[in-house]
Amino acid sequence: MDEGGAAPPASDESATARITLRLTESLKAGIEAAAAREGVSVNTWLVRALGRSISTTTVRGPGNRLRGFGRS
């Protein structure tokens, strides 16, 4: 274990990273409900939601208009 108490990362490239999130109880409950509706784990739901959020391309246009596209 390293100084932070976490196990050292695995040496193969298929290793995953861990992160700790502090959520309000209401946000946590909402995420759990959304994951249950989709029939997936909370982890899977969060990974998909985060993946969608970083793959969306948005360009600011004149004024308050947004131009761009998003993938789902």
Domain ranges of the chain: 23-55
Closest CA to 47 of 57, 38, 24, 12: 38
Range 6-32 average pLDDT: 80
Q: Say yes or no to pLDDT of 18 above 60.
A: yes
**pLDDT at position 1:** 45
Helix or strand or coil: residue 66?
strand
Scanning the chain, the segments in alpha helix (DSSP H) are 25-38, 42-55
Per-residue confidence band for 67, with pLDDT thresholds at 50, 70 and 90: low
Contacts by 63-66 with C-beta closer than 8 Å and gap 24+? Answer: none
What gap in Å lies between CA 49 and CA 19, rounded to an integer?
15
Summarised one tens digit per residue, pLDDT across range 37-59 is 999 999 999 999 999 888 766 65
Helix axes 25-38, 42-55, angle to 10 degrees: 90
